[in-house]
Amino acid sequence: MAAQDVLGQTARLASSSALLQVLFRVVTFGLNAFTLRYLSRELLGVVNVRLTLLYSTVVFLAREAFRRACLSGSAKRNWTKTINLLWLTVPLGVFWSLTSGLVWLYLLEVPDPSVVPHYEAGVVAFGLSAIIELLGEPFWVLAQAHLFVRLKIAESLSVVSKCILTVTLVILYPHWGLYIFCLAQLLYVSVLVMCYVIHFVMFLGSPEATKKSFPVARVKALLPSFVEDETFVNWKEARLTWSFFKQSFLKQILTEGERYVMTFLNVLNFGDQGVYDIVNNLGSLVARFIFLPIEESFYVFFAKVLERGKTVKDQKQDDVAMAANVLELLLKLVLLIGLTITVFGYAYSQLALDIYGGSMLSSGTGPDLLRCYSLYVLFLAVNGVTECFTSALMCKEEVDRYNFVMLALSFIFLCISYFLTHRYGSVGFILANCFNMGIRIAHSTHYIHHYFRESTHRPLTGLLPSPALLLVYILSAGVTAFSEVLFCCDKGWMARLIHISAGALCLAATLVTMLCTETKLIHFVRSQFLSRYLKKGT
């Protein structure tokens, strides 16, 4: 497949995923806001921090390394061996689920049964849900490798199904407590896996599959199988998986570090954990439905266009030019999104929390948490794209060296988290995450600079916004902060509307300046992300 075709399909995959995420997140956003009125902070802390951490730990450790290894390189490979390798995620998931479940049950503090009953059932249900989700891993990797845009709807449908069941049970049977979230979690993973299975059952053997020369002809071929006189798996992929596994173990600590500190060191009670998690989820909405689809989709693009382990001189120069241009524009895109959220998030955090969750969130540390998270989003935005590129290009030896960097960083991050949390409370977690992301960005940008130093391409210039746009951001920050002091948030709805209007005017000025100064980026977004939607409208 030509590099330009890969870019087009990758951009459509990212834009479709982001659009679906936005549409379905709007629904779940409203449902979650409604649910908050019926639940205690302690219950939310146990579900959203303790049990969700169990689930994410099992899933991440069991599959992340396999995803990275099996999506590297061309889609043309021995898919029988790759599928065999991917099915190993299931027994690995069973191992991690049993091991982690015992830790969660017998080594960690158990919540008061009078406040949060049925904790043991919650641990079993969330561990089981992780294993069920891993059953869909071969389907997910095949879909990503072949850029199946439509299958992105599966996760969104699962999330909506989960939210609808949660709201229904919370209203009808509030005394069920953790049982509600156990059933909702099991429904989520079941719908997700069934969507994958149904899609491939309908797709395989169809004229569309024949036209695309899809490498798998029958549903049975998606199950593990032995090939006579051949190894069960591709050992090159298996060794790369092991390298990524060592890295993923450390990456999980860095990604969920604050939850591990909360869970194992008890620096916050379950109620404070609940508030922190709500604010964290609210602040990470953009990261989940915009940055993550971009990162996942363009990882596939860079892995397909450039060959892992080769220097820039040994690559096709046309592909190098395209990859460098795309990387520069992606960096500029996520940087501007991140700056916009940082600037406007500071002045509108308290208002957003008050509307979303009432005084439970807008009083206390909630607004300060969301303000800090607005800054953290900027770090997340840049790190996602830079690590996406480096992960797609690093050879096995470079991945192994990076593992040592991640090991040192993990230890430093946990120490800083513990220190800052004792000093600043839950805000310390976000400050520690900013430090963590800053170090990772520094490593990735150093790799990118070193990779392109023997070429004429300088993609890191995408991290430099135009001076005029930077000035508008600074002025907007000042105006909105002054507006918050005067009009928000205890002076009535008229004052709030004035505050919102001031922000809308500043945002409009920012967007107009962006359109005038970042013409290359605007053309990239229109031609790659919005092209099919614009065509439908004409």
486: Cβ contacts below 8 Å, ≥ 6 apart: 495, 499
pLDDT on residue 417:
84
pLDDT on residue 74:
55
Number of helical H runs and strand E runs in the chain:
24, 0
Q: Per-residue pLDDT averaged across 78-104, rounded?
A: 91
Q: What percentage of the chain reaches a pLDDT higher than 90?
A: 26
C-alpha dist (Å) from residue 241 to 97, 138, 396, 435: 20, 15, 9, 28
- Under the banding of pLDDT at 50, 70 and 90, the label for residue 24 is low
Residue range 142-200, pLDDT digits in tens: 888 776 766 777 887 888 888 889 989 988 888 888 999 999 999 999 999 999 999 88
Q: Per-residue pLDDT averaged across 283-312, rounded?
A: 77
Residue range 266-288, pLDDT digits in tens: 778 888 888 888 888 777 777 77
Interatomic CA distance for residues 528 and 516, integer angstroms: 19
- Under the banding of pLDDT at 50, 70 and 90, the label for residue 537 is very low
pLDDT on residue 22:
60
> The whole model's pTM is what?
0.70
Of 297-311, 363-377, 430-444, 498-512, give the lowest mean pLDDT range: 297-311
Helix, strand, coil shares of the chain, percent, nearest 5, are 80, 0, 20
Residue range 454-483, pLDDT digits in tens: 888 888 888 888 899 999 999 999 999 999
Check residues 143 and 123 and name the one with the higher pLDDT: 123
pLDDT on residue 120:
94
Q: Which of 273, 287, 328 is nearest to 521 (CA)?
A: 328
pLDDT on residue 245:
82
Q: Per-residue pLDDT averaged across 300-316, rounded?
A: 78
Task: Check whether 211 has a pLDDT greater than 80.
Answer: no
Task: Check whether 112 has a pLDDT greater than 60.
Answer: yes
Query: Is 454 strand, coil or helix?
Result: coil
**Chain-wide mean pLDDT for the chain?**
83
Task: Check whether 534 has a pLDDT greater than 50.
Answer: no
Check residues 318 and 2 and name the one with the higher pLDDT: 318
User: What is the signed CA dihedral for 349, 354, 359, 362, rounded to 10 degrees?
Assistant: 0
Ranked by mean pLDDT, the top range of 19-28, 89-98, 147-156 is: 89-98
Check residues 414 and 247 and name the one with the higher pLDDT: 414
pLDDT on residue 532:
46
426-432 contact pairs (CB < 8 A, 24+):
426/268, 426/272, 426/275, 426/276, 426/365, 426/369, 427/365, 427/368, 427/369, 427/372, 429/257, 429/258, 429/261, 429/262, 429/276, 430/258, 430/369, 430/372, 430/373, 430/375, 430/376, 431/372, 432/257, 432/258
